[in-house]
Structure 1
Amino acid sequence: MSTLMHDIALMAVPTGIAAGAGAAAVHYRRRATERLGLIRQLESRVRDGEQRVEARDEEARHLAEHRLPALISALSRGDVDSYRDVGLLHPPLATSPTGVAYRAVLDQVSVLAGEASERAERAASAAVQAVVRSLQALINEQQVAVTALQDLRSDEETLALTIPIDHASSQLARRAQIVGILTGMWPGRQRNDTPLPETVRGGVSRIRDYLRVEVSGEPTAYVSGRVVEPVVLAAAELLDNAARHSEPGTKVYVWFLEAHNGISIVIEDAGIGLAPEERERAARLLSGQDPVRITELRTPPRFGFLAIGQLAARYGFHVSVEQQSVHGGVRAVLHLPRALLVAPPAPASPAGAEPVNGSQKAAAFSDHPYPVAEDGLPLRRPGPGSRFQPGAPATSPPPPGAGSQLAAFMRGTHSARTASTDQEQTP
């Protein structure tokens, strides 16, 4: 019996050891599984971290290569209103610190660039205005000197030499006025109410190819003095554009169309016309709705339509080049609403007294192509019945006998010359 128990005990010892070893194996296997799971979690987190870092790197490149350049390009074109941010490559980052920081970068760049642009625009405008004023002063001195010489010597030889200089100066003065208008300067001249035909002829007198312009029609309406100079400038720019973009041997036709709401000045040329996209751009410029920025003008800059648009928006008339001329060129229309027109002044009394409505007394532009006023811009006021007797264009000598006609004109209008003021009433 004792031997049997001993044998059983001996047999039981390996069984316990085996059971203990099995339990230990299970424990270590569980620990190994847990550690493997932890390793896999850590590996997953590492991969996620690497992906987030890669995404942020991609967003940084996207910001530097696309988003910032697009914003700066829009700012440089002055087209911020139409700018749309392309956004993040990885939208989930929008609310992350990275996405918020990148959005703040774009906002700060926009603000700083806008402030820098405004400073540059103010500096450029101030510089341009200073140059324009200095040019106008020099032109004024030149035209005063020419006028003094013409007053002193009204013979045909002197006039043949001085009138082309005078005409060139009037064109230079007009260009200076146009550039100044783009910077916010006013035209600089206040007129009395003026007959509409004389207003148009005032524009004709300020272009190089004035001999090619043919004006027909004599509407009786007067242009309000407040807008005479702006209309003269706008008409001159349209006429100059029509003449320069048509064959030298062709005419530029000007006529008037009376309508219920006002009177239109119609200018037609026989030039090459405008392509549809050019007509659309011209319509946008002539509307005057877009602000003009000196620092954003095209290269080379084109001032004419821009300045006309600014004048039209400021003074209340309308200009369009949306129709094609019957001659294949361009038809430009400058429409003056009734609010900008006044009735003719009452006739003077037999004794030669002033008209009853003195505020509407016409200080008419002369038909003479080379008028001059004390402020350096063209102005002549002929006596009653004077008609247009053009001299020679600035590009060629005057025809034979032209000097004697001009001399007679100068002697006949000497006492009628008066200078207009250099003030403008608020539109």
Structure 2
Amino acid sequence: MLFAFIGVLLAAVVGGIWSGLRHVRDAQLVRMARTTVQTAEVRAKNADEQLRIAIEELRFLAADRIPAAVLALTHEHAPVPGLLHPQEANATLAKAMRDVLSATSAAAAGERDRVDAAARAAMRGATAKVQSLLYQTQSVLQDLQHELDDPRLLELDFRNELALRRIQATAVLCEAWPGLARSDSPLAEVVIGAQSRVAGYARIKMSNHLREQRLAVVARAAEPLAIAVAELLANATSYSHPDTAVPVTIQQSGGRGALIVVDDGGIGMDEETLARARRLLAGPEVLLLTELGNPPQAGFAVVGRLVRQYGFSCHVESSPYGGVRAMLRVPAELLTVLDEEHTLSVLVPAPAETAAPARPAEDPADDGPVVEATPLPSRRRRSPRTAAARPVAPVPPAAEAPVARTPEQAGALWGALQDGTRSGRSAAGSGTAVGTTSGRTAAGGSAAGDEQGDDRS
């Protein structure tokens, strides 16, 4: 009996222990299940939150960050925003967004360069054709000026010259050849030739301080230098009052070349605009047409392209006259001295230290109409050795204001011009080649409003 009782007791004890163990195990399983469920819920919540953040970041990337990055390609100071949720976004999402932004910017830059190159190529072809037509027009006008005494031909010739300068500047900007070959040309004649390409030429007052009057620009740089000087003169005349003069000084710079200084009394530039102008004049290696604004402000960009290609330099700063001073330095390697037999143009101002003083005004009643106030158009012979190969503007007189003329006086002036041209053709003979017109009196007044400045705001 005793053993049976002990057996039953042991069975009861073991069963209780086993039941307790099973209860504990079940409780642990329940706790583990609850923890697993809670963890899953947290992870699901975090996943939903990360998905929401990722969607918002993608929308922000497409709407704000990518456009800002594309804008920064042409405007270096334009800000590019970062992540919308920099603290909540995980590292993987942030890196992915940066990679997308970088790839998009690179693709936009590549497409922009491709489009710019295609535009330059198209413009090069168009400008070459237009430039050829303008040269042909110039030749026809010169022939007509030799045959006819119509002052309107001067206006047409001048407007053709303005159009030709624009086309040349556009061609240079598109990395094309300037389109005109010249021989070694006196520096003073190059500046005078550049003056004749500007609508406000009559306001330009040139001072000749060269020690060597036969100082010349080598053939390969003569036309590029004329284009650069014309752009600086156009900028100066466009951004200064029509009643103010634009002083131009040419001088040698102590054996290191020559210096052309253009001053104006215009609106000037602020520091930011000056910095941009200096960057363009330095000749940046990469310059896109889209960087020139709308409408394009190409004057300084053209000068910078020529500076980079031909080796001269240009600097702008505030002028003592209140506007802007542009200094174009021609290095010694681009200069030469012409032979003594070379005849300089009569339009070149006399050296400042030897220039004759201005004569007092004479009584018009004694000698007829006063013709010094506005020079009559003139022609000079074309010579392979002496020609500047460009129309040259007359140097304006010292008088501050033009003399009022009656219709009878104006008719007398043109009658004198016609008599002089007829006498000149009779003396020269029909086979003599005559140079291009250098007077721009007939066209200057009407064309002064046709040209707009490019590089100031």
Shorter-chain TM-score tier: 0.7 to 0.9
SS at match of 1:272: coil
Distance in 1 between the 2:379 and 2:20 partners?
Answer: 120
SS at match of 2:222: helix
Would you tell me which structure has more helix in proportion to its own residues?
1
SS at match of 1:206: coil
Quick one: which amino acid aligns to residue 300 of structure 2? F
**What is the match of residue 130 of structure 1?**
125
Q: Which runs of 5+ in 1 are unaligned?
A: 349-360, 420-427
**What is the match of residue 69 of structure 1?**
67
Q: CA deviation at 1:314?
A: 1.1
Change (3 A) 1:19 1:206: closer
Aligned residues between the structures:
384
Distance in 1 between the 2:418 and 2:303 partners?
Answer: 32
- Say yes or no: does 1:114 pair with 2:125: no
8 A contact 2:269–2:323 mirrored in 1 = yes
Provide Cα deviations, 1:152-192, integer angstroms capped at 9, x if missing partner. Answer: 23x4xx2x221111111111100110111110112111211
Q: CA deviation at 1:100?
A: 6.1
Quick one: which amino acid aligns to residue 201 of structure 1? I
Change (3 A) 1:262 1:18: same
**What is the match of residue 181 of structure 1?**
172
Change (3 A) 1:83 1:399: farther
Provide Cα deviations, 1:301-353, integer angstroms capped at 9, x if missing partner. Answer: 112111111111111111122132x22222211111111111232x34xxxxx
Provide Cα deviations, 1:72-97, integer angstroms capped at 9, x if missing partner. Answer: 2234x2759x9978479369854x4x
Q: CA deviation at 1:205?
A: 1.0
Distance in 2 between the 1:29 and 1:400 partners?
Answer: 123
- Which deviates further from its counterpart, 252-261 or 82-91? 82-91
Distance in 2 between the 1:282 and 1:183 partners?
Answer: 19
8 A contact 1:380–1:417 mirrored in 2 = no
Aligned residue among 211, 216, 234 for 2:202? 211
Quick one: which amino acid aligns to residue 182 of structure 1? L
8 A contact 2:198–2:234 mirrored in 1 = yes
Q: CA deviation at 1:415?
A: 3.5
How much is the aligned-residue C-alpha RMSD, in angstroms?
Answer: 4.0
Provide Cα deviations, 1:258-299, integer angstroms capped at 9, x if missing partner. Answer: 222221111122222222222222111111125332244301
Q: CA deviation at 1:19?
A: 5.2
Distance in 2 between the 1:337 and 1:234 partners?
Answer: 15
Aligned residue among 85, 110, 134 for 1:139? 134
**What is the match of residue 286 of structure 1?**
281
Superposition TM-score, scaled by structure 1 size: 0.75
8 A contact 2:379–2:435 mirrored in 1 = no
**What is the match of residue 195 of structure 1?**
186
After TM superposition, list the pairs within 5 Å mapping 1:198-347 onto structure 2: 198-217=189-208, 219=210, 220=213, 221-260=215-254, 261-324=256-319, 326-345=320-339, 347=340
SS at match of 1:334: strand
Distance in 2 between the 1:83 and 1:45 partners?
Answer: 36
Quick one: which amino acid aligns to residue 326 of structure 2? A
Q: CA deviation at 1:388?
A: 5.1
**What is the match of residue 42 of structure 1?**
40
Identity %: 29
Q: CA deviation at 1:43?
A: 3.1
**What is the match of residue 423 of structure 1?**
none
Aligned residue among 54, 57, 76 for 1:56? 54
SS at match of 1:301: coil
Aligned residue among 390, 402, 416 for 1:379? 390
Distance in 2 between the 1:167 and 1:381 partners?
Answer: 10
8 A contact 2:231–2:303 mirrored in 1 = yes
8 A contact 2:191–2:229 mirrored in 1 = yes
**What is the match of residue 161 of structure 2?**
170
8 A contact 2:203–2:396 mirrored in 1 = no
Superposition TM-score, scaled by structure 2 size: 0.71
8 A contact 1:254–1:268 mirrored in 2 = yes
Quick one: which amino acid aligns to residue 245 of structure 1? Y
- Which deviates further from its counterpart, 63-72 or 298-307? 63-72
SS at match of 1:70: helix
Distance in 2 between the 1:381 and 1:52 partners?
Answer: 74
**What is the match of residue 30 of structure 1?**
28
Distance in 2 between the 1:336 and 1:184 partners?
Answer: 21
Aligned residue among 86, 93, 98 for 1:89? 86
Quick one: which amino acid aligns to residue 316 of structure 2? V
SS at match of 2:258: strand
Q: CA deviation at 1:228?
A: 1.0
8 A contact 2:194–2:392 mirrored in 1 = no
Provide Cα deviations, 1:97-136, integer angstroms capped at 9, x if missing partner. Answer: x566545544543443233223311221122223322322
**What is the match of residue 357 of structure 1?**
none
Change (3 A) 1:57 1:144: same
SS at match of 2:165: helix
- Which deviates further from its counterpart, 44-53 or 127-136? 44-53
SS at match of 2:208: coil
8 A contact 1:364–1:381 mirrored in 2 = no
Distance in 2 between the 1:338 and 1:226 partners?
Answer: 14
Change (3 A) 1:79 1:278: closer
SS at match of 2:327: strand
Change (3 A) 1:294 1:242: same
**What is the match of residue 447 of structure 2?**
none
Distance in 2 between the 1:57 and 1:369 partners?
Answer: 76
SS at match of 1:146: helix
- Which deviates further from its counterpart, 25-34 or 56-65? 56-65
- Which deviates further from its counterpart, 326-335 or 129-138? 129-138
8 A contact 2:205–2:247 mirrored in 1 = yes
Distance in 2 between the 1:372 and 1:67 partners?
Answer: 64
